[in-house]
């Protein structure tokens, strides 16, 4: 087996006095698509943000691609190898779609504007919105915005993609266009950590499912066995709730 891409060791996170993550230990391997699910407030977003150190750890460490995030001298350099996609897209409203995508490649990787534009257009083509390149985010539909945001994350050629409920803010008819892009990424071997309530995606695309509750990891299974045969009571309850909506 290959070396883990992400190793989370004894990780704890506090917001003030509130313990959002409690001693998390887990590893993720390259080329895998892992879905993280769990009830609201269970710490899924917090865990994702820790993987690129958008939060200060209370305790423990995250090792990304062999580098400790806790003691990292150049965290920006490490972050540029990890793409992140947000529930509310978080495109920069004052920049065109194209400039949203090329900003980091030009500023962080030192690409020329010409090369960055060329790569960005290829990505936009891949996600099917190359005709929107010169528009501003607020002029796009939600689904188009999220596909633009995915392109922005991909533009740095990351080794890992983090998705935090990428379809939760979308109208139903736009969810599938974003899921299709994600499925395409997974099929092409991208390493992905995906927080989502889309159980269809978890079943069909994910290799594994991690179930969280109250700041802890309750179980980790192959996606098949998670749905057919969940180990914990809480996961069973959760699956019934989201799948059968009872």
Ligand X SMILES: Nc1ncnc2c1ncn2[C@@H]1O[C@H](COP(=O)(O)OP(=O)(O)OP(=O)(O)O)[C@@H](O)[C@H]1O
- Binding region for ligand X (CB under 6 A): 15, 18, 20, 38, 40-46
Number of residues that bind other proteins (CB under 8 A): 34
45 or 52: CB nearest Mg ion? 45
What, of other proteins, ligand X, Mg ion, none, does residue 43 touch, CB below 5 to 8 Å by kind?
A: ligand X
List 42, 45, 52, 167, residue binding Mg ion (CB under 5 A): 45
Find all residues with CB under 8 Å of 205, minimum gap 6, and list them.
33, 182, 183, 186
Based on CB atoms, which residue is closest to other proteins, 137 or 230? 137
Strands (E), 16-118: 18-28, 33-37, 59-64, 67-68, 82-85
191 contacts which partner out of other proteins, Mg ion, ligand X, none, CB within 5 to 8 A by kind?
none
| Dihedral angle computed from the Cα positions of residues 89, 227, 43 and 59, in that order, rounded to the nearest 10 degrees | -120
Centre a 10 Å sphere on the Cβ of residue 240 and count the other Cβ atoms it contains. Answer: 12
Number of residues in the chain: 246
| Number of continuous H segments (helices) and E segments (strands) in the chain | 9, 10
Q: Which residue is nearest to Mg ion (CB)?
A: 45
Between residues 88 and 113, which has the closer beta carbon with respect to Mg ion?
88
**Residue with smaller CB distance to ligand X, 40 or 71:** 40
CA Rg, the chain, in Å?
18
Can you tell me the distance from the alpha carbon of 51 to that of 35, in angstroms, rounded to the nearest whole number?
A: 14
Partner whose footprint covers residue 91, from other proteins, ligand X, Mg ion, none (CB < 5 to 8 Å by kind): other proteins
Instruction: Restricting to residues 88-117, name those near other proteins by CB under 8 A.
Output: 88, 90-94, 103-104, 107-108
Q: Which is nearer to Mg ion, 123 or 193 (CB)?
A: 193
Phi, psi (degrees; rounded to nearest 5) at 105: -55, -40
Which residue lies nearer to other proteins by CB, 6 or 209? Answer: 6
Spatial CB neighbours of 10, under 8 Å, sequence gap ≥ 6:
23, 24, 25, 59, 60, 61
Indicate whether 42 belongs to the interface with Mg ion (CB under 5 A): no
- The 128-167 site mask, x for binding other proteins (CB under 8 A), equals -------xxxxxx--------x--xx-xx-----x-----
**Cα–Cα distance, 97 to 117 (Å, whole number):** 11
For strand 191-195 and strand 6-15, is the pairing parallel, antiparallel, or unpaired? unpaired
Q: Where along the sequence are the contacts to Mg ion (CB under 5 A)?
A: 45
Q: Where along the sequence are the contacts to other proteins (CB under 8 A)?
A: 49, 52, 54, 76-77, 79-84, 86, 88, 90-94, 103-104, 107-108, 135-140, 149, 152-153, 155-156, 162
């Amino acid at each position: 087996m290959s070396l883990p891409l992400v190793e989370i060791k004894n990780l704890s996170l506090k917001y003030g006095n509130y313990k959002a993550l409690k001693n998390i230990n887990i590893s993720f391997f390259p080329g895998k698509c892992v879905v993280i699910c769990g009830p609201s407030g269970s710490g899924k977003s917090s865990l994702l943000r820790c993987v690129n150190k958008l939060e200060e750890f209370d305790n423990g460490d995250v090792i990304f691609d062999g580098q400790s995030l806790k003691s990292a001298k150049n965290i920006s350099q490490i972050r540029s190898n990890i793409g992140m996609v947000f529930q509310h897209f978080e495109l920069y409203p004052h920049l065109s779609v194209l400039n949203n995508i090329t900003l980091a490649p030009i500023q962080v990787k030192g690409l020329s504007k010409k090369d960055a534009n060329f790569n960005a257009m290829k990505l936009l083509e891949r996600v099917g919105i190359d005709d929107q390149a010169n528009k501003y985010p607020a002029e796009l539909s939600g689904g188009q915005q999220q596909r633009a945001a995915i392109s922005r994350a991909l533009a740095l050629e990351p080794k890992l993609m983090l998705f935090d409920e990428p379809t939760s803010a979308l109208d139903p008819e736009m969810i599938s266009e974003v899921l299709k892009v994600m499925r395409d990424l997974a099929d092409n071997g991208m390493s992905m950590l995906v927080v989502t309530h889309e159980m269809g995606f978890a079943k069909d695309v994910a290799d594994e499912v991690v179930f969280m509750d109250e700041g802890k990891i309750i179980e980790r299974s192959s996606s098949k066995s998670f749905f057919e045969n969940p180990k914990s009571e809480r996961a069973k309850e959760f699956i019934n709730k989201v799948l059968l909506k009872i």
